[in-house]
Structure 1
Amino acid sequence: MNISIKQLRAFLALAEMENFTKASELVNLSQPAFSALIATLEQEIGFRLFDRDTRKVQLNFDGFYFIELARNLVHSYDNTIENIKRYANGEEGCITVAVLPSLAVKWLPEVIAKFYLENPEIRVKILDTQWDRCLHAIIDNSADIAIAAGTPTLKDIQAELLFSDDFYLICHRQNELAKKDSVQLKDLEGQQFIAFSQGTSIRLYTDQLTQLYNIQYTMEVRQLTTMMGLIAVNQGVSITTGLTLFQFEHDNIAIIPFKDLSLKRAVYLIKKKERQLSQQAEKLYNFIKNNNIKD
């Protein structure tokens, strides 16, 4: 069965006007062309839709059944065309963003909230995962853009520096280091150091420090909340970044800046080098790049 939208619109016009001349004018067709559409529609579906006399054309029993189907089909078609137009204009669609969990808790939601003010029809799917998985999500096309730390070295990706995030010492208030206004890296020697687990972005940086100073890992955790709990009961010290400090706002925890730590966590905006972003993803990419989000 091959029914066209043009035939359905002609049928709906005739059902409304109950007159071939008026209905053909409504859809801007000549009466012979209009009559041919109705005839071929009835031939295609296998039954008549109208009772005709010299004065009026009216829906018959089968026509009343068919009209609801026709309305639904035309409505669905019109909505589909409108959605295609909106997508083509970058007004609608879904974007997948791979992002570090530490950025997905507070930083990214603030970004998305601002973006939605200007683009309420675009949906964003957030894939919060480790930095290496953020990169692979770009490579295997399971994410449109990524926001990750470290220096991306994969040849298939394009990375732009967004900002650099400072590191801070976190420790229990009873720890001797809590008395200091600022600390040096050598102050960590001999401390029970709780590390973030392999694959996390902060671990990339603390591994560099252990090569330069006598810092020994005594425990490893993956989640910020777990780290907060251990520090709060005085099980060790650790290093975290400025964007995660809100997670460590606890009566028992001291947050202390470093006086000699030039090392910063670089946060990059990433996309696949040879893949053209959709208009929607391009909007979000440029929004993040061009707005001073960190502040």
Structure 2
Amino acid sequence: MLAVAEHLSFHRAARSLGISQPSVSARVKALEEDLGVRLFERNTRGVRLTEAGRLFVEQVSVGVDQLDHAVKTAGMAAMGKCGRLRIGIHALIPHSFLAELIGQYRETNPGIEVEITEGTARDAVMQLRADQLDVAFVAGSPELPDCHTRLIWTEPLVAVLQERHPLAGQPTVTWADLTGETFLVRHGGTGPQVHDHIVLRLAGRWPAPSILRFDVGRGTLLSMVGQGFGITIVGAAASLLPITGIVFLPFADEPEPVPFSAVWSPCNRNATLRNMLALAGKMNRRGDSFRLAWQQ
């Protein structure tokens, strides 16, 4: 019908469609009978649209355009070229591996709407299970029977001390050096994991560590260290933050750097997620380079 309206000729419409003219005429006649209106006026010079036909073609054309757009959009979504990606994070530090990963993903996928939620690993996993996130980046290598996990990057663990602290001039520290210190940790982000790590490393030592928990951001916590409230431990990427009055000292007795993993639901077949994980894999060497460069 649209071909006839475009060419105003059954013959030319049939030729453009690659079918016979009688077939085109029969289809248009059947449509007119179904609608109960005449769409074309036929004469010896060809055909022309009736007013009803003109209005019908306008509406149908809009629908065809919308359908074409929907088909193209679905195809792009299947390739991960449009849509959204919901990411859970513990923090987004400028120039860190995670910040570079998200930045490169957005640059190479301008059609993707990236949504970021900050919180603890526990919160992120709960949101994954509720289909409120597509992927979460968490500290550690969690073993979750209902989720997929993959190691993405690593960072050395460092102690953060006030620059006037007696240990601040040392090249490294040990956990024994920190016995009796007051540790500051956050309620949010990686705070719960930091708390558990301190308890594990200083178990059995005397005096027992004092661990104070605060509902503040990472930057505020580091500023509190600079003001003498206590000390804390972080991944080395935190050293990229522009906080004055503190020093970052690597541990001499931490056997391995801190792993950071991606966690996602095995039911999530989102192509945007697949593309993000593929990019993270390509950038993994850069994460190792950051770790080695920091240690040197």
Which bracket does the TM-score occupy, shorter chain normalised?
0.7 to 0.9
Q: Which residue pairs with 1:280 in the alignment?
A: 272
- Report the AA paired with residue 209 of structure 2: I
Name 2:13's counterpart in structure 1.
23
Does the Cα contact within 8 Å between 1:210 and 1:216 map onto a contact in 2? no
> Does 2:249 align with 1:239?
no
**2:70 aligned with 1:80, yes or no?**
yes
1:289 aligns with 2:281: yes
SS in 1 for 2:44: coil
- Alignment of 1:180 onto 2:170: yes
Name the count of aligned residue pairs.
Answer: 283
Aligned to 2:219: 225
User: Does the CA contact (< 8 Å) of 1:104 and 1:128 recur in 2?
Assistant: no
**3, 23, 26: which one aligns with 1:13:** 3
Q: Deviations over 1:86-137 (max 9, x none)?
A: 3344544433333322579943331133334554444443333211122233
Superposed counterparts of 1:81-120, under 5 Å = 81-102=71-92, 106-120=96-110
- Report the Cα offset of residue 78 of structure 1: 1.2
Residue identity in the other structure for 1:43: E
Question: Contact 2:97/2:153 (CA < 8 Å) preserved in 1?
Answer: no
Return closer, same or farther for 1:38/1:137 CA change in 2, 3 Å cut-off.
same
> Paired residue for 1:5?
none
The letter of the residue matching 1:245 is S
Identical counterparts, % of pairs: 22
Q: What is the Cα deviation at residue 188 of structure 1?
A: 2.1
Q: Does 1:271 align with 2:264?
A: yes
Name the residue aligned to 1:154: 144
CA distance in 2, matches of 1:180, 1:89: 52
Q: Which residue of 2 aligns with 1:203?
A: 195
- When normalised by structure 2's length, the TM-score is 0.82
Deviation of the 1:76 alpha carbon? 0.8
The one-letter amino acid paired with 1:170 is: V
Give the match for residue 294 of structure 2: none
1:221-279 Cα deviation digits (max 9, x unpaired): 442022023123222211111122223x3232222222223354221222335x36334
Give SS of 1:251's match: coil
The question of 1:261 aligning with 2:254 is answered yes
Pick the aligned partner of 2:129 from 139, 144, 149.
139
Give the conservation status (yes or no) of the 8 Å contact 2:158–2:249: yes
CA RMSD of aligned residues (A): 2.7
Q: Deviations over 1:53-90 (max 9, x none)?
A: 21121122223323321221111111222223333445
What SS does the corresponding residue of 1:179 show, helix, strand or coil?
coil
User: Contact between 1:182 and 1:257, CA under 8 Å: does it hold in 2?
Assistant: yes
How far 1:174 sits from its partner (Å)? 2.4
Provide the rounded CA distance (Å) in 1 between the counterparts of 2:169 and 2:250.
12
Amino acid at match of 2:224: L
